Structures are given as structure tokens and as C-alpha cells.
């Protein structure tokens, strides 16, 4: 009798309990690989908001993992095997590495805002009260001023920092009427004189800010968005905007090969689209990043400083020309580092 009852229960359970979990019931997962600076806004605001929105729209529970590192290191990690589905990096050349590796196969510049999800400005962070009287780039070359910025060998932010110095030199020389050849020499000289005062070159922009917060250095060259939230929280820093500085452009793209292999292209594309929408762009602005959504640009314009002589990579001749001028074996920054090393 007991065995007949157990047999009937076993048959009933076969109908009630599936032998295996259907594939569609597994939680799909997307990996976002980003440069280090926007870690807080992604983890605190953007990822939770998108996961909730996706659940409300589709009924599906998903998981967004995130990885943050210096932009150049992140790009090399993805090209070397990190299975990220989305890359949010600090400069175009890092994303182009993934194009050259055959991982990003679509034309990412055809996306909203030409593939640029946020912008920023390179600015100067100083101690409260500005005790070294820093007002512009030339002040960073004065004797006794200790400067911080990360290494461009690992950090996209550092490349922007050095481009800001070089571009400012080009613009100042242009206003003085210098010839094309003299412009490069004058701008390179400014890079070299500031490089002599560089105290520490960390691996990433975030590490450089941490060093500054430990009391090292008089001035840090960094994205404005690194210090704006800290100043709002009462940290003892001030932001100085040189009259001439560069507009930082931060690209984002779905990594086609990985997203397709993981069967998450729909989620990855929806997340990227969400980041351009007003809700996400407003969150970026609240964390100190300049939005690229036109409506949000207008509504947040008063929250940002607008220096008189902004320039872009395009106005300096494009990435290839800038890389050759600064970071090639004979580039101005490469030679400046070599000279600074010999002088020490």
C-alpha cells in the first residue's frame, strides 16, 4: 500500500516539477566595461535604473555586471579576452582598438551624438584658498609647484590632460601669430616645462585623485567631473578653469562579437540607448559629467563653467595628428619625459 502511494506521488511530481530549467528562465547577464572615473554614477544610479526599467518593460529580470579600470588598460583587457558586451571608454582611440580587433563591427560613430555619451573639460584642482595662486597653464611650470596627472601609457584621462596643455599652447601661439612650425615647438615647450614639475604619474585618473586627496601635490590636472562632486560634498578643493582647455569626449559602443555570442544584443543596445536618454543624461550631469542630450545640455547649462577658448581634438587636426605630435617616439610628451628623467 505504501509503495503504491509513493508511486502515485512520483507520477504526480513528474507533471508538477520540470526535469530541467528552461533556458529562457536563466537570468541573462551583460558586462559593462568602463573607464574608472564614472564608476559611482553607473553603480549608484544608471545600472539600477536601467535594470528596473527593463523589468517593467519586458517582465525579464536581468543582471548588469560592471568592470572599471583605466581606459587604455580596459581596452587592452577587452581586446585580450575580457568578455565585455559594452565598452564605455574615455577616448576614441581606445574604442578604435576594439574596432581593429574585430570586436566592434558596426560604425559606432553613427549612433546618437556620434557615439559620444558624455563630455567634460580638463581643469585644474587646487587646495582650498589656492595657496599657490594657480590661474592657468603657465603657473604649473613655475618653480616650487608640484603637479599631478596619471600616466598616458595606461590612462586615457592622462592623454586628455596632456592634450589640454599642448592644445592650449597651440591656441596661445596662434593668437600671437606664430608660424605652423613655431606653434608645435611652443606648445611642446609648455608640455616639457610642466612635465618637469610632475610629482607622481599614477595608472588612472581615479588613482591620481586619490593621491591628491592624500595631500600629495599642489595641483592636479584632471576632468572637472572628478572634483565637482567632491567640492559639493565639502572637500577642501577648488577648481580652476584655464581660458584655453580641451573638450573631453567619452565614447560608448556595444561590443558586437561578445553581445551576439552571449545572446544579449537586445539588452546591450537598450542600455546604450538608455544612457543617451534624458533620465540618464540628467544623472550624468548631477555627477559632474557634461551631457550630450540637447535638451539636458540646455537645462543644465547654468551648472557648468564655460571657458572662453575651448577646443576639440578635431580643431587640433584629429587623433592621428595629435598622437604623432605628442605620444610618438619623437612626440613632445615622450621627449619631455625623457628630458625630465635625465634632469632628475
| Residue 225 sits in the same domain as residue 126 | yes
Could you tell me if residue 51 is inside a domain? yes
Look at residue 258 in the predicted model and tell me its pLDDT: 98
How many structural domains does the chain have?
2
Could you tell me if residue 287 is inside a domain? yes
Mean pLDDT of 4-28: 46
Cell readout for 129 is: 584658498
Could you tell me if residue 9 is inside a domain? no
pLDDT averaged over every residue in the chain: 91
What residues have CB less than 8 Å from 30, skipping those under 6 apart? 62, 63, 64, 65, 85, 86, 259, 262, 264, 267, 268, 271
pLDDT tens by residue, 115-159: 999 999 999 999 999 999 999 999 999 999 999 999 998 888 899
| Residue 89 sits in the same domain as residue 217 | no
Could you tell me if residue 4 is inside a domain? no
| Residue 196 sits in the same domain as residue 274 | no
| Residue 174 sits in the same domain as residue 291 | no
pLDDT tens by residue, 255-282: 999 999 999 999 999 999 999 999 999 9
Q: 63 pLDDT exceeds 60?
A: yes
Q: 244 pLDDT exceeds 60?
A: yes
Could you tell me if residue 1 is inside a domain? no
Mean pLDDT of 314-326: 93
Mean pLDDT of 71-86: 95
pLDDT tens by residue, 277-309: 999 999 999 999 999 999 999 999 999 999 999
Instruction: Please give the share of the chain, as a percent, with pLDDT higher than 70.
Output: 92
| Residue 260 sits in the same domain as residue 277 | yes
| Residue 186 sits in the same domain as residue 332 | yes
| Residue 128 sits in the same domain as residue 268 | no
| Residue 44 sits in the same domain as residue 101 | yes
Q: 7 pLDDT exceeds 80?
A: no
Q: Residue 343: which pLDDT band, with cuts at 50, 70 and 90?
A: low
Of 43, 42, 62, give the one whose Cα is nearest residue 52. Answer: 62
| Residue 187 sits in the same domain as residue 103 | no
| Residue 92 sits in the same domain as residue 222 | no
Could you tell me if residue 10 is inside a domain? no
* DSSP secondary structure, 125-185, as one string: EEETT-TT---SGGGGGSTT--EE---TTT-HHHHHHHHHHHHHHHHHHHHTT--HHHHHH
Q: 15 pLDDT exceeds 70?
A: no
Domain that holds residue 106: 23-118+249-303
Q: Which helix (H) or strand (E) holds 311?
A: strand 309-311
- How many CB atoms within 10 Å of residue 217? 22
Could you tell me if residue 143 is inside a domain? yes
Q: Residue 25: which pLDDT band, with cuts at 50, 70 and 90?
A: low
Mean pLDDT of 24-44: 91
pLDDT tens by residue, 202-212: 988 889 999 99
Could you tell me if residue 14 is inside a domain? no
Q: 99 pLDDT exceeds 80?
A: yes
Domain CATH code at residue 263: 3.40.190.10
| Residue 143 sits in the same domain as residue 240 | yes
Q: 23 pLDDT exceeds 70?
A: no
Q: Residue 338: which pLDDT band, with cuts at 50, 70 and 90?
A: confident
Mean pLDDT of 178-183: 89
| Residue 66 sits in the same domain as residue 203 | no
Amino acid at each position: 500500500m505504501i509503495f503504491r502511494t509513493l508511486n502515485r506521488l512520483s507520477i504526480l511530481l513528474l507533471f508538477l516539477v520540470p526535469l530541467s530549467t528552461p533556458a529562457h528562465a536563466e537570468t541573462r547577464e551583460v558586462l559593462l566595461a568602463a573607464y574608472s572615473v564614472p564608476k559611482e554614477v553607473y553603480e549608484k544610479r544608471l545600472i539600477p535604473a536601467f535594470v528596473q526599467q527593463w523589468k517593467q518593460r519586458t517582465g525579464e529580470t536581468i543582471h548588469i555586471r560592471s568592470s572599471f579600470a583605466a581606459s587604455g588598460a580596459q581596452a587592452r583587457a577587452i581586446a585580450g579576452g575580457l568578455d565585455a558586451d559594452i565598452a564605455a571608454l574615455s577616448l576614441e582611440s581606445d574604442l578604435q582598438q576594439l574596432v581593429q580587433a574585430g570586436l566592434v563591427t558596426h560604425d559606432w560613430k553613427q549612433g546618437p551624438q556620434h557615439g559620444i555619451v558624455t563630455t567634460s573639460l580638463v581643469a585644474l584642482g587646487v587646495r582650498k584658498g589656492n595657496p599657490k595662486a594657480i590661474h592657468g597653464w603657465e603657473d604649473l611650470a613655475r618653480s616650487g609647484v608640484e603637479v599631478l596627472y596619471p600616466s598616458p601609457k595606461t590612462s586615457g584621462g592622462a592623454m586628455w590632460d596632456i592634450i589640454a596643455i599642448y592644445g592650449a599652447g597651440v591656441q596661445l601661439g596662434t593668437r600671437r601669430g606664430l608660424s605652423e612650425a613655431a606653434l608645435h615647438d611652443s606648445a611642446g615647450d609648455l608640455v616639457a616645462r610642466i612635465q618637469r614639475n610632475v610629482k607622481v604619474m599614477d595608472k588612472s585618473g581615479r588613482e591620481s585623485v586619490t593621491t591628491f586627496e592624500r595631500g600629495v601635490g599642489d595641483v592636479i590636472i584632471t576632468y572637472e567631473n572628478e572634483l565637482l562632486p567632491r567640492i559639493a560634498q565639502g572637500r577642501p578643493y577648488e577648481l580652476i578653469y584655464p581660458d584655453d582647455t580641451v573638450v573631453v569626449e567619452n565614447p560608448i559602443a556595444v561590443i558586437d562579437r561578445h553581445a551576439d555570442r552571449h545572446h544579449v544584443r537586445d539588452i546591450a543596445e537598450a542600455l546604450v540607448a538608455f544612457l543617451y536618454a534624458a533620465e540618464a543624461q540628467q544623472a550624468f550631469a548631477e555627477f559632474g559629467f557634461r551631457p550630450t542630450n540637447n535638451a539636458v545640455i540646455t537645462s543644465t547649462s547654468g551648472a557648468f563653467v564655460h571657458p572662453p577658448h575651448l577646443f576639440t581634438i578635431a580643431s587640433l587636426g584629429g587623433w592621428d595628428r595629435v598622437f604623432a605630435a605628442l605620444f610618438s617616439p619623437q612626440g613632445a610628451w615622450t621627449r619631455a619625459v625623457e628630458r625630465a628623467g635625465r634632469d632628475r
